[in-house]
A = this chain, B = another copy of it.
Amino acid sequence: MSVRELVVLGSSSAVPTRHRNHNGYLLRWDGQGVLFDPGEGTQRQMIMAGLAANDITWMCLTHFHGDHCLGVPGLVQRIARDGVAHPVHAVFPASGARYWERLRHATPHRESDVIVETPVAGERATLATGDPFTLTARLLSHPVEAYGYRLEEPDGLTMLPARLAELGVRGPLVRGLQEDGRVTTPDGRAVTLEECSVRRPGQKVAFVMDTRLCDGVYELAEGVDLLVIESTFLDEEAALAADYGHLTAGQAGEVAKRAGVGRLVLTHISERYRPSDEPRFVEQAARVFDGEITLVHDLDRIPLPPRRAPH
């Protein structure tokens, strides 16, 4: 199950349109499925995308505005109905715990005990570490308390065959070196893994939703392979964006540039824009950022960029 992709379930902002459902994003990461911000209708969008409740292992809410969480009741009920047996970690701002309670227990149903509630508070929180990823939350700046999320795969090591041969590490010794980090060659030389390998950077993804520009945005985005970021408005509406605590396409491009991201994914598009306006989002981001830029559509599947070269 070595699939790593972002499945876009919805991409509107506060008001859905004929073309865009309310938010919803499933990041498939090998056997894990991190569902970000399930808005109303996410349950059915998952069916449209060929996904099931069983594919969810994490549910991360950035904040409690309706377009980011009104899909929770339906999903919680599906998780129970479908008998999901693995833990589903539900992460949300602790300040909105009373809203979480209402969503989780919105209507009578046979409740599941697999949901593990993990409220986050403070400026930063680490939710998981190590394998298969480290998941962190970072406070952002929006009219209600909002967090962005970042996943990081641990860096690995790639062995260099030429170097192994040069040092006399052959056959079963290679495996020993990999497992123990050091071996002794037949001619008595102690060899460490470090001296015959290079660092293989782990993949990194950031999910930045509903915020004005702030330090947290840059911290989350720093060096990620894939940055999924709200771009509610075009640059012409920068004043509105600031008032409502949102980003423009150009600001998203600016973040991608300064943070050195691999691929920039724009979403959370205001209903004021027509499909014919959409190319302008990419144009405005591309004035600043010269990497790959995608304005998403519902049911898009966006693969993680290939792992960066070892160094």
A interface residues, how many (CB within 8 angstroms): 34
Of B22, B47, B64, the contact of A108 (CB 8 Å cutoff): B64
B64 touches A44 (CB 8 A): no
- Taking the closest CB of chain B, its distance from the CB of A112, in whole angstroms, is 14
Asked whether, in the complex, the Cβ of B103 is within 8 Å of the Cβ of A99, the reply is no
Contact with B along A43-79 (1 / 0, CB 8 A): 1100110000000000000001110011101100110
Residue A105 interfacial (CB < 8 Å): yes
Q: Which residue of B lies closest to A102 (CB)?
A: B102
Q: Could you say which residues of chain B place their CB within 8 Å of the CB of A276?
A: none
CA distance A106 to B65 in the complex (A): 9
Taking CB atoms and an 8 Å cut-off, the chain A residues in 146-171 that contact chain B are none
Known: A102-B105, A108-B144. A47 touches B66 (CB 8 A): no
Does any Cβ of B come within 8 Å of A33's Cβ? no
Cβ-based interface call for A17 (8 A): yes
CB distance from A267 to the nearest CB of B (A): 17
Do A47 and B74 have beta carbons less than 8 Å apart? no
Known: A48-B18, A81-B14. A40 touches B74 (CB 8 A): yes
- Min CB–CB distance A73 → chain B (angstroms): 5
Question: Which residue of the partner chain, among B21, B69, B107, B108, contacts A70 with CB atoms under 8 Å?
Answer: B107
Chain B min CB distance to A123 (Å): 21
Contact at A66–B17, with CB atoms within 8 Å?
Answer: no
Q: Is A109 an interface residue (CB 8 A)?
A: yes
Q: What separation, in Å, do the CA atoms of A47 and B106 have in the docked complex? A: 24
Known: A40-B74, A70-B106, A102-B102. 7 other contacts (CB 8 A): A14-B81, A16-B44, A40-B70, A65-B108, A65-B109, A99-B106, A99-B108
Q: List 30 A-B contacts (CB under 8 A).
A: A15-B78, A16-B44, A21-B44, A22-B44, A40-B41, A40-B70, A40-B73, A40-B74, A41-B44, A64-B108, A66-B73, A66-B74, A66-B77, A66-B106, A66-B109, A69-B107, A70-B73, A70-B106, A70-B107, A73-B106, A96-B107, A96-B108, A99-B107, A99-B108, A102-B102, A102-B103, A102-B106, A103-B107, A106-B106, A108-B144
Chain A residues within 8 Å of B, Cβ to Cβ: 14-18, 21-22, 40-41, 43-44, 47-48, 64-66, 69-71, 73-74, 77-78, 81, 96, 99, 102-103, 105-109, 144
